[in-house]
Chain A
């Protein structure tokens, strides 16, 4: 099952601290949305409001068009996959996954069959009789996913589920999450602070900072055409271009990604001295400084074979320059 989600002017305060400030968002049914931002930006708070663990100070949450005000977590069409998995240590994997169905009053045979199907979906059907402490971190994570999906939620909420895994396993789990989401069609709302993870799995990314939405869109737009300086910086390196070189507007800065700075391009940045360079396998990461009196620093990713000698002065160009607002 699946449903769309609408958040209307959600605000949340903890004492004098404003964790969320007037958030308006809507997600389509079956969408994989990632809430991305640094720690303390309010992304987890927003997820907890969706799950019903917190009620917002102001605003409305609608899931499938239904107002969720005053609806407890157990009665919401959402389930949450928690950061520490929160598996029940005294139950077998089958009983863990079948727990939600048991709460719905499903008989033992039926729920065991469903639990085994879900464990099969995450590739753990041969371990149904084991207890959680016998599993590795990645396996526990899969059990938590199976348990949350077993009750056929309309919306699955994932609170930094991959945070505890090592990098390689993390990349592998990202692919699996995406595949499983395609298969079940449930709306996924996933919280992370890892921008690579966000780009790898999201249909759309919500970038958050200081309780506000900085940007919302498909990964390509967020990376290539960020709306704000914060988003541009958070998604990767960005070079600021002096206003004189481009048509200047008030309260706007122009930026360019390192891979769009090179020895040819649309906008001339003027001569620059190569200060240092490092080899990154598929490109050279170079630190330039402009040879004029502004001595603006630039980071450029130059293709293999394009590397000038250190201290050489070469003309630099930029393409795909984006205009960025200072704030949201």
Chain B
């Protein structure tokens, strides 16, 4: 029975990670095709990828869109959560529902909606349009995480700060934000990873300047190459780095 358990454990991790391992392994392929037999290791595809101006441009675009859209989504989500947690308004529940609703809509539908809206407004597809799309998908996430993290405990500390002479701005800067730091970081980094990986909105809402997933997709159209494995491995590496930062900064602290 014990052996069966271990076999199951190995099988499930193999199932999850085998595709990634294959991807990373064949990024070190020396030949022209990322298929067995493995004839590496070689770093030549990494060299090619890093010297590809189009790819590097797309990588910078992706980072830019991720950072800017996540910052905006975080700020709007924080303000909405703070407002709805502190002030009792008529229809609070409905407003909360409407704010979270976009999470349940498929990215394709959101992308199509934004595409036709922007067309109607005469707003050309661009990185900015993609950024707006990413704010649409990440704002509900930031709102939900931050709203859940705000409790009575926090409300009382804010009241105490006001009692001791803090202005509203000081309350937010010195009490609310520091107390919510783990939730703020979690929301921000999750937004960055979602924006970084997002393809369909970026595909429909960009034209000349594209993000990395769109660039990789157009590389794939000209057939398999270890170069796509190499860029895929780099993207994976970035995600891992973000995850490790998150683990070290946010989750460790929230435990204590």
Q: Which residues of A contact B (CB under 8 A)?
A: 51, 53, 72-75, 78-80, 82, 84, 86-90, 99-100, 103-104, 147-148, 151
Contact = CB atoms under 8 A, between A and B. Distances in A.
B157 interface: yes
A74 B165 contact: yes
B159 A99 contact: no
Contacts of B160: 80, 82, 86-88, 147
A80 B170 CA distance: 19
Rank and list the top 4 A-B pairs by shortest CB-CB distance, nearest first.
A103-B165, A100-B164, A86-B160, A86-B156
B185 to A, nearest CB: 13
Given A88-B179, A90-B181, A104 B165 contact: yes
B162 interface: yes
Contact of A90 (B164, B165, B178): B178
B167 interface: yes
A88 B157 contact: yes
A74 B157 contact: no
28 contacts: A53-B163, A73-B159, A73-B162, A73-B163, A74-B163, A74-B165, A74-B166, A74-B167, A75-B165, A78-B163, A79-B163, A80-B163, A82-B156, A82-B159, A84-B156, A86-B157, A86-B159, A86-B160, A88-B160, A88-B179, A89-B157, A90-B178, A99-B161, A99-B174, A100-B165, A103-B165, A103-B170, A104-B165
A103 B164 contact: yes
B164 A79 contact: yes
Contacts of A72: 162
B157 A87 contact: yes
B153 interface: yes
A99 B170 CA distance: 11
Which of A51, A73, A78, A86 counts the most chain B CB atoms within 10 A? Answer: A86
B175 interface: yes
Interface string B160-195: 111111110010001100110100000000000000
B20 to A, nearest CB: 38
Nearest to B158: A86
B164 A151 contact: yes
Which of A72, A78, A88 counts the most chain B CB atoms within 10 A? Answer: A88
Contact of A74 (B162, B174, B181): B162
Contacts of B179: 88-90
A79 B163 CA distance: 6
Nearest to A80: B163
A139 B178 CA distance: 23
B90 to A, nearest CB: 15
Given A53-B159, A78-B163, 10 more contacts: A74-B164, A79-B163, A80-B160, A86-B156, A88-B157, A88-B178, A100-B164, A100-B165, A103-B165, A151-B165
B151 to A, nearest CB: 11
Nearest to B160: A86
A148 B181 CA distance: 25
A75 B162 CA distance: 9
Contacts of B165: 74-75, 100, 103-104, 151
Contacts of B178: 88, 90
Nearest to A89: B179
B166 A103 contact: yes
Contacts of A147: 160, 164
Contacts of A151: 164-165
